[in-house]
Copies of this chain bind each other. A is one copy, B any other.
Amino acid sequence: MTETRTLRADAARNRRELLRAAADEFRERGPDASIESIARRAGIGKGTVFRHFASKDHLMAAIVTDRLEDLGGLAESLAGAPDAGAALADFLAASAERQQEQSMAFLAAADPAVLREAGVEEVRERMFQAVYALVDRARGQGAIRADVTGPDVVLLMCAPTHVAEPLAKASPDLWRRYLAIILDGLRPDGARNLPHPAPPAPLP
């Protein structure tokens, strides 16, 4: 974003390959994947990485921004669906499916100041707002409990994948099982007991 004019052809190709390689390395080796291994995987030199991104954290921010924009766009495209409950379930399924292959967990290791500087917060906030809208419509249609809030669902988004993570390789579809359990827990029917207040509106 806010790129300098007319990136040279080979530079553009290297940048694309670099982002792809970095995403793969972070997924396989976690936040500690080395810049050198990423560069090797992309078929470029270490110096070229720092030509494209000021630091490792900036590289992480770029990857995560792409994914948040993708998710936000998906949520927005579901905004007008007639069955809001199904739309919400579809969104959560798509979100979990993406996390299966592209975790964002490595983000925790990055410097928050860099994330802010790279504009991650704005993109994330936009995605959150789109999810909140889905939740509000689903609640309005009685598809989920009256006391379930938008932030609740955002917090629960990562849960199915996280639960199934220890067996993700052996049963790559297992997250569906736990998404189904969680969706059941959100349904309005049945005797329930939800203690404690909803989370504060903005996630930090």
Contact = CB atoms under 8 A, between A and B. Distances in A.
A197 to B, nearest CB: 8
A116 interface: no
Contacts of A163: 155-156, 158-159
A47 to B, nearest CB: 26
A164 interface: yes
A193 interface: yes
A196 interface: yes
A156 B173 contact: no
A183 interface: yes
Interface stretch (A60-68, A75-83, A174-182): A174-182
A162 interface: yes
A192 B203 contact: no
Among A180, A196, A197, the most chain B Cβ lie within 10 Å of the Cβ of A196
Given A164-B155, A167-B199, A167-B203, A181 B177 contact: no
A9 interface: no
A185 interface: yes
Contact of A182 (B108, B185, B198): B185
